[in-house]
Amino acid sequence: MTLPRFVLLRSMPLRLASVLVLLFSLVSLLGLWASYVYTQASFEQILRADLTQDMAGFRAAPSTSALAGLVEAEAQSTDPERVVLSYFAPNGQHFGNAFIARDADGYRIISELPGNPEISGRYLALTSTLRGGQLTIARSRAQIDALRDVFMNILGLSLVPTILIALSGGIVLAQRGARHVNAINGTLEQLTSGKLQARVGNVKGWSDDLASIAGKVDKMARSQEETVESLRQVSSDIAHDLKTPIQRVAVHLEELSKSNDLTISGRMQLDSALLEMDRIVSIFHSLLQLAQIESGSPRERFGAVDLGALCETMCDVYEPSAAENGQSLICVLPDEPVRPVMGDRNLIGQILANLIENSINHTGPDIQITVALSQTQDHLELSVTDSGPGIPESEREKVLRRLYRLDRSRKTPGNGLGLSLVASIARVHGAFLKLCDAGPGLRVAISFPSAATPP
């Protein structure tokens, strides 16, 4: 799996590698700079010593003419671009291979060659008065100046490849660590979406810290799966154990309702008891269905589902009920063909049924209910919108809980499990459920991932 670049750049291995590379670069640069300064100072010291030694040799000349002859002899075999010899005798006559002139721009070295060409470059010079004249010896700093290029080459040939190799290693480690982190993140996402059987799995070759985290995630997942399964089993057992006695009570009440000996008051109380019994049976049926859905077993029946056709069917079924309540129910589908989703057609139909029934039962007359379907490149969004009183934002998370009902809904039909069923069915389909304000009213939107292949 390839991570987006911005995630990779923020990964810990790459950050650590970058810090280490930065520290190494700073230490290397300081070391090279110190070496350069020390070497440059040593070269200048040697150059000054050579100048002093040269001047001492010329001082040994016994007379002006001897000094002039010595300078001229040395000048014949000396390149002025390396060493400049210039002696002005007391009579103004010049001897040597070049002389130093000064103008408004500074000092210049003029060669004694034909045409007196100017010599470029930097020199370290020593001037002294000898035998009534002025002797100047200047040695070129070319070697010292070339030292800078040498150190720059050392920097380029040693430091830059090291930095590139270190950063490449950091990127490789970051990509490797990112794959491991993605594996843990993927497992956690599956666990939070209700797939409690998800595990990180084999961690061979992982770093000790990530392997330890992965092991703890798997241990937590096993414990959570066992706990949830135990609770589901207990709930299922209780529901099954109570189902038979409740059915028997319902049968007895049904038989009692056929008796001719009941008074009017007794028959009214019996009818109320039968209604309450039907509500209890409905609650137990919904609880059993929730347990079955949350166990993940419906995934075994998944197939390609045409949401467009399903929306039209459910709207046709509930349109008479809405019209009877003075409400309008409309279906809005995209113009282009709708891609299928993978799921259980009956369960997705129950999502629509619950949402449409909620809108019909919990809103008043002259209300418009809209069942809409839209699609993007990767998802299909199914929504049911009404123009009723809506649900306050502070209550929208609570209404997804089991048996939770708003105060105004306690006098309307229902058991507080409709939206819980919708949320559980959406979760088992990998869909995202969202309740939002329709201004006025409520909009319930469920985003399904598209099927990989057509039906």
What phi and psi, each to the nearest 5 degrees, are found at residue 35? -65, -40
Span 439-453, average pLDDT: 79
pLDDT tens per residue, range 144-175: 888 888 888 887 777 778 778 777 777 777 77
Asked whether residue 202 is assigned to any structural domain, the reply reads no
Sign of the Cα torsion 42, 47, 48, 54 reads positive
Q: Say yes or no to pLDDT of 213 above 80.
A: yes
Flag whether 416 is in a domain: yes
Do 307 and 256 sit in the same domain of this protein? no
454 occurs within a structural domain: no
Domain boundary among 273, 294, 315: 294
* Position 191 pLDDT exceeds 50: yes
The answer to whether the beta carbons of residues 111 and 119 sit under 8 Å apart is yes
Band of pLDDT at residue 361, cut at 50, 70 and 90? confident
| CA dist 171 → 20, 178, 180, 220, 228 (Å) | 13, 10, 14, 31, 41
Residue 49: what pLDDT?
92
Tokens 């891609």 sit at which residue? 339
**418 compared with 412, residue with greater pLDDT:** 418
Out of 266, 294, 322, a domain closes at 294
pLDDT at 409: 46
CA 271 to chain centre: 61
Work out the average pLDDT over 376-380: 85
Number of domains the chain is built from: 3
Distances (CA, A) of 32 to 152, 420, 422: 9, 70, 69
Contact 64, 131 (CB under 8 A): yes
**Contact indicator for 155, 36 with CB cutoff of 8 Å:** no
Q: With 50 as the cut, is the pLDDT of residue 408 above it?
A: no
Residues sharing a CB contact under 8 Å with residue 103, sequence separation 6 or more, in sequence order: none
The CATH number of whichever domain residue 252 belongs to comes to 1.10.287.130
| β-strand pairing of 379-386 with 442-449 | antiparallel
Residue at token pair 């199914």 = 382
pLDDT of residue 453: 39
Are 33 and 170 found together in one domain? yes
| Contact indicator for 172, 8 with CB cutoff of 8 Å | no
310 and 233 in a common domain: no
Q: Tell me, yes or no, whether 56 and 160 share the same domain.
A: yes
What count of other Cβ atoms lies within 10 Å of the Cβ of residue 298?
A: 19
* 359 shares its domain with 426: yes
Domain finish residue from 267, 294, 321: 294
Q: Cβ(75)–Cβ(69) under 8 Å? A: no
The answer on 309 and 289 residing in a single domain is no
Query: What is the per-residue pLDDT across 73-113, written as a single tens digit (0 to 9) for each?
Result: 888 888 888 888 888 888 888 888 887 777 666 677 877 66
Over residues 364-374, the pLDDT tens digits come to: 888 889 999 98
Residues 6+ apart with CB under 8 A from 225: 196, 197
Question: Is 199 among the domain residues?
Answer: no
Concatenating the DSSP letter of every residue in 426-450 gives HHHTT-EEEEEE-SSSEEEEEEEEB
Q: Name the H helices within 12-159.
A: 12-59, 64-76, 142-154
pTM of this prediction?
0.46
Kindly state whether residues 84 and 49 are assigned to the same domain: yes
- pLDDT interval class at 407 (50, 70, 90): very low
8 A C-beta contact, residue 376 and residue 336 = no
- Strands of the sheet with 118-119, listed across from one edge: 98-103, 106-111, 118-119
- In-domain check, residue 28: yes
In a shared domain, residues 318 and 254: no
Residue 438 inside a domain? The answer is: yes
Residues 239, 291: contact at Cβ < 8 Å? yes
pLDDT above 90 covers a percentage of the chain that reads 3
201 within domain boundaries:
no
- Containing structural domain, residue 254: 208-294
Least confident of 90-94, 182-186, 257-261, 320-324: 257-261
Start-to-end C-alpha separation, the chain: 29
Q: How far from chain centre, in Å, is Cα 33? A: 39
Burial of residue 283 (number of CB atoms within 10 Å: 0-12, 13-18, 19+) = middle
| Contact between 255 and 234 (Cβ < 8 Å) | no
Indicate whether 184 and 226 sit together in one domain.
no
Question: Which CATH number characterizes residue 377's domain?
Answer: 3.30.565.10
For residue 340, is it within any domain?
yes
Residue % of the chain over a pLDDT of 70: 83
The torsion angles phi and psi of 323, rounded to 5 degrees, stand at -65, -35
Does residue 305 sit in the same domain as residue 398? yes
CB 421 within 8 A of CB 290: yes
Burial of 337 (0-12, 13-18, 19+ CB in 10 A): exposed
Is the same domain home to 322 and 401? yes
Q: Which amino acid makes up residue 18?
A: S
Assign 1 a pLDDT band (cuts: 50, 70, 90): very low
The answer to whether residues 418 and 410 touch, using CB atoms and an 8 Å cutoff, is no
Model pLDDT, residue 402: 59
Do residue 283 and residue 315 come from a single domain? Answer: no
Q: Return all residues near 15 (Cβ < 8 A) that are at least 6 apart.
A: none
Secondary structure (DSSP) of 84-127: EEEEE-TTS-EEESEEEEEETTEEEEEESSTT-PEEPS-EEEEE
